[in-house]
Amino acid sequence: MKNSNPLKFKRAVIVGVGLIGSSIARALRERGVVDRIVGVDSDPEILARARKIDVIDDGFSDLKAGVENVDLIILSTPVGALTEICTTLAECAPDGVLIVDVGSVKGVVAEAAKSLPDRIHFVPCHPVAGTEQSGPEAGFATLFENRWCILTPLERSDDAYLDAVKQASVLWTAIGAEVEIMDAAHHDLALAVTSHIPHLIAFTLVGAADDIESVAPGEVVKYSAGGFRDFTRIAASDPVMWRDVFLNNREAVLEVLGRFSEELAVMQRAIRWGDADVLFEAFSRGRSLRRAIVDAGQETDVPNFGRDQSGDTGEED
């Protein structure tokens, strides 16, 4: 599919060629948005694999070499690396270059961007899409289709930067995403609710199951055809990325975690005292929210997530 909008970049660099970075590269290439794609990664093996499958045209381990003569920079690394990256880009990024990132925490990105001069136009972004897979081979061009990408622009009002925000919006729209704009603090609180706490619960539950000595390890695997199996999918996500998320969004996460702990205590009391009404109301709220998510097109209503009932889980998501 070729690009049908006027946005066009001659040379783009993707810093971090994993699941998200390689998916962006594939989508940009498929839509004809970029003429040439450069990859930057600290792991030479990752770069070699990405070149072998034509995700990138050139690869560099050195960031300064990779950003020469580019007009688009996409930062697809764990958020913990962005401060150092921005410090380097402040010295070597070309004038007028558009920079976007994909981090799921935005307050820390806004802080890191303070080291950048006004000649560089950094628009923090968060495409709310992904799978538990990793590596350049895991990427696919349709990852962002009909998914939200949240932009949290910096506090700049000059015309050049406002034009960059528009460019960033068109960029994500060109590869199939829906764009929303909000401030960084609101984003971090919203994502703590919808993404960060669910992941924390999944990691914790899987860890607890592993620690319960009265349940044999083989039984945990054998009987994981229900809800526990789906928690393990979430818990299979990149540990480096999620470590950085929780370290850099601690205030919002702790606020939501406190509310969750209160709700959990209510459920604990209801179970202890046999309060059927409280349990029924809570479960009904959960069911209604699930239906709303399906109605909004953010999930399918196919039974059992579309898995073959014979036990074949079908395609990886």
Task: Give the least confident one: 10-14, 22-26, 243-247.
Answer: 243-247
Computed from CA positions of residues 277, 280, 281, 282, in that sequence, does the dihedral angle turn out positive or negative? positive
Q: Which residues have a Cβ under 8 Å from the Cβ of 270 and sit 6 or more positions away?
A: 278, 279, 282
Calculate mean pLDDT across residues 2-27. Answer: 86
pLDDT digits (tens, 9 = 90+) for 201-231: 888 887 777 666 556 666 666 666 566 777 7
E strand or H helix at 65, and its extent? helix 63-66
Tell me what pLDDT residue 134 has: 81
Question: Which has more confidence, 241 or 37?
Answer: 37
Predicted pLDDT of residue 26: 95
| Contact between residue 24 and residue 83 where contact means Cβ atoms under 8 Å apart | no
Residue 241 has pLDDT above 80, yes or no: yes
What pTM did the predictor assign?
A: 0.82
List helix spans (H) across 128-249.
159-174, 184-191, 197-211, 217-222, 227-235, 239-248
- Cβ(179)–Cβ(10) below 8 Å: no
- What element of type H or E holds 82? helix 82-92
Is the pLDDT at 306 greater than 60, yes or no?
no
**Residue-level pLDDT at 289:** 72
Element (H, E) at 72: strand 72-75
The span from the CA of 92 to the CA of 70, in Å, is 11
Per-residue pLDDT at 279: 87
**pLDDT-wise least confident of 102-116, 143-157, 206-220, 303-317:** 303-317
Mean of pLDDT values over 274-294: 82
Does residue 292 register a pLDDT over 90? Answer: no
**Quick one: pLDDT at residue 175?**
94
**Spatial contact of 123 and 100, defined as CB atoms under 8 Å apart:** yes
The fold adopted by the segment(s) 9-182 is Rossmann fold (3.40.50)
Lowest mean pLDDT among 29-38, 212-221, 251-260: 212-221
Residues 6+ apart with CB under 8 A from 247: 80
94 DSSP assignment: P
Mean pLDDT of the 68-96 span: 94
Model pLDDT for residues 138-162, shown as the tens digit of each residue: 889 999 999 999 999 999 999 999 9
CATH architecture, domain 186-298: Orthogonal Bundle (1.10)
Chain mean pLDDT for the chain: 86
Cα-only R_g, the chain: 21
| pLDDT tens-digit readout, 226-240 | 667 777 777 777 888
Contact 93, 99 (CB under 8 A): yes
Across 237-261, average pLDDT:
89
What is the sign of the dihedral through the CA atoms of 67, 73, 76 and 80?
A: positive
Residue 309 confidence class, pLDDT cut points 50, 70, 90: very low
Task: pLDDT band for 313, please (50, 70, 90 cuts).
Answer: very low
Quote helix, strand, coil % in the chain, to nearest 5. Answer: 55, 10, 35
Reply yes or no on whether the pLDDT at 307 is more than 70: no
Say which residue, 98 or 284, is predicted with more confidence.
Answer: 98
Percent of the chain with pLDDT over 70: 85
The domain segmentation of the chain, as residue ranges, is 9-182, 186-298
Residue range 52-76: mean pLDDT, rounded: 94
Instruction: Spell out the residues 6+ positions from residue 196 whose beta carbon is closer than 8 angstroms to its own.
Output: 104, 245, 246, 249, 252, 253, 256
- Is 21 a residue whose pLDDT tops 70? yes
